[in-house]
Amino acid sequence: MSSSYFTLTLIIAAIVLMQVNQRLGSPVLAIFARWLRWFVFAFGVAQLCTDFELIDRPFWVLVLAFLMLWFLIETFYNWLGIAAMSVSPMPLFPRYSVNPGGEEWPTQARFLKLKEWLRAQGFSLMQPYRAEIGGGIFLRGVVYQNQAEDIRLQITFMPISAATLGVCYSLVSQTEAGHRIVTDNFCIPYAGFYPEEWFVERLPWCRSLENLLARHQARLINEKALPIKSDPLADLNAQQHQLDQLNTQLGFLNPHAEREELGKISQAGRYRVWKEVWMLNYLGRPARYR
């Protein structure tokens, strides 16, 4: 009976957490929801097998077996999703353009507070942008820069569901030594390669821009940051082009001539993406930091 109460508690907790996160769109809460969903499946199916005497095995053995079954099911599902993305027309490195609608901030209170905080910290708007990811769906965002012009902030609004909008930040600085220091909290898998002069730290758990900015500034203590004078959209598109070329050269992406037949992502690249999906979904950290 105790296992029944425990299973019921897991189910209720999973439902409540999912309902709360539908309004908040927090990647951190989403991680806990995935763990709960995994355990609900394992304990729930094991409980059914025990109650209806479908399998004559100890309860804990059934739980372990169904935990592994969930892993296999989700692995298969993720692998199919990666394969579909590879052959889809969706660009892996979309091109950014000026948002014709101008600066589009969501009207939710948390976003309005963020906008006020940026103004108080001396960040000024440089460019609203958008990038089409396929089917007329756009990622929208804005680029800000601080008064010293040595930190550029990219804010991207991420549609999580029809009713939920998330936000991710990317802080960038150029140094006198030729390094590109990037601190972001993107929670979508990348798994590709970065240029040697890029030093990227991805912190999906850090949802506070204030804390992320403090971390970025701490990384610049031993570096001399230079003012960034380049056009924001030209810089973003140059980065996308550079990443596409580099990942094609290093084998993460298939050569352009072979992409129509084999898809955009190579087999080695698909494994790296699958690994990063698992790391982000269940541990909240990328598989690689650079």
| Domain-terminating residue out of 25, 53, 87 | 87
- Domain tally for the chain? 2
Q: Which domain holds residue 192?
A: 96-282
Question: What is the C-alpha separation between 106 and 92, in angstroms, rounded?
Answer: 25
Neighbours of 46 (CB within 10 A): 24
Amino acid identity for residue 102 in this structure: G
- The Cα angle at residue 244 between residues 242 and 250, in degrees rounded to 5: 100
pLDDT at position 200 over 60:
yes
> Is 287 a member of any domain?
no
CA distances from 22 to 25, 64, 136 (A): 6, 30, 24
Asked if the structure places residue 171 within a domain, the reply is yes
pTM: 0.89
Boundary (domain end) residue, out of 62, 87, 112: 87
140-161 per-position pLDDT tens digit? 999 999 999 999 999 999 876 6
β-pair partners for 208: none
Return the beta strands (E) in the chain as ranges: 96-98, 124-134, 137-145, 152-159, 165-175, 180-184, 198-202, 225-226
Q: Are 277 and 269 in contact (CB under 8 A)?
A: no
138/276 same-domain check: yes
User: pLDDT tier at 22 (50, 70, 90 boundaries)?
Assistant: confident
Do 105 and 221 share a domain, yes or no?
Answer: yes
Q: Is residue 1 pLDDT above 60, yes or no?
A: no
Boundary-marking domain end, from 37, 63, 87: 87
Q: Per-residue confidence at 136, pLDDT binned at 50, 70, 90?
A: confident
Q: Are residues 106 and 238 in the same domain?
A: yes
Q: Look at residue 96 and tell me whether its pLDDT is greater than 80.
A: yes
Element (H, E) at 248: helix 232-249
Q: Are 80 and 144 members of one domain?
A: no
